[in-house]
Structure 1
Amino acid sequence: MIIELFGPPASGKTTLAHALAAALEKQGFDVQLIVSSRPAERGSIPGESKRALSWCRTELGAPLSRAAKLVSAAPILLGATSDDLTASIMDLLPPSNLLRSVRCRRYLSLLARSWKVASTSDRIVIFDQGYVTALCSMVLLARSIDRSVMMRGLALIPRPNLLVRLDAPRKILEARLRARLGRQGALERLFEFDLQTSLQQIETTSEVAHVLQEQGGRMMHVSSLDYCRLEKAVDQIVREAKSWKKEVNQVDPSLLEGRHIIRVAR
């Protein structure tokens, strides 16, 4: 089962991902947490287990540390080829400059690798940022964009078993972003959006969510205004996971050959 969280920067995606991994572990699930970690966010979640934290050291999570980005971007700068999905997304939504292009291609290549493994795993795999978040960022970075291109992008990307949208009031998000930027050094800021660009992602994320709803997709919508609301969301997602496990256990394995069962969250 793949659980993907999406929302604007500072909406609580990584916070919820850590709390959810710990809660699912307590319920006996085998969980892998794949996060785009920031040093300032590590250890910020009360009640995390050491085992849950260890799952962050994954193929995608570790290279997303800011210092490692310079090294892992080298193959892209040298002309290394990417997977077909990454190439298709980059062709559809080409970033406006070289640095952003390298950043997006690097992230999408790592994401594709991790997603492929997750799609064949018996674990519950949680992405604090997946293809929907990547698409929202690339829509913002593209030279020009219209609604039809956004819809084509959504048609390209794989969908998780459970899609969770997070948001918070704009003033709250801005305060969190200012605090985050204040904790970052010059190297980290090189790979981050500035404040105004980050805030623009609020509207972009809302527009993408609206398109998904128009296409018939159902999403779990979570307010990250406070930790109490996130705890309620964790409880709801755990119930979804239990329901998914029950459904999988009731399906004849012979019916799954060559097929993928996709459930989209309420």
Structure 2
Amino acid sequence: MSTAAFRADDRPVRIAVQIAPQHLPIAALRDAAVHAEDLGVDMIMNWDHFYPLSGDPDGLHYEAWTQLAQWAEATERVELGPLVNCNSYRNANLQADMARTVDHISGGRFVFGTGSGWAQRDYDEYGYDFGTVGSRLNDLARDLPVIRDRWTRLNPPPVRRIPILIGGAGEQKTLRLVAEHADIWHSFVAPEEIGHKLDVLQRHAEAVGRDVAEIEIGNELRGADDAKAEALHAAGARLYTVGVSGPEIDWSGVERWLRWRDAKNG
């Protein structure tokens, strides 16, 4: 594996549960966040969409950031954030202020997961310009420095230096943004493809003067078996997301991967 495995062996395995903000009343989603914390997960996340992504496309659904504020108040230990915020939906300075505010509500547990957006229905229904994949990535590249600068000028500032998670695997633009800005790179890349992506990320990091070993590698365990999980681990992944959704949340997968985490961390 390239880049000394990104010093992955120095990092513990962490489990994040992505609780889809759909098909459940808001009180039940709050209870789900509390239950996930009680199970021992390291992070809870939602997604930034306006309509369900599975099941009834017009079913119950809630806005991401106001829900994160609810979770921040309801929980005590877990980190939390969106997987991922859609950069297109809010002014960059506003995103920074929202992130800072949720960070304060949580006592310094917020993770700024962000990406360029993709769900055209959200754009069309809410009146945003959909643009192209390239234009949305260009907008993200423009806005990330604005967000980081605003964090330095807010009063009060964030509780901590807010970690940035960037989702995606595009080699020309997304991984360049990861090298420039991210503390966590999250993707759905197959284990056998991670080495190549890390080589690309290493080249971008060298170009911007960044130590790529600072970046935590994230991937998803939904539908994975032990062999895939072990392959992801061998490739350097250390943050793993597990998705759950209403109307009836099945926690068995989360519990399984928490046992796996604990075995890995010894």
Give the TM-score range, shorter chain.
Answer: 0.3 to 0.5
More strand by share: 2
More helix by share: 1
* Structure with more relative contact order (C-alpha pairs < 8 Å, separation 6 or more): 1
TM-score normalised over the length of structure 2 = 0.34
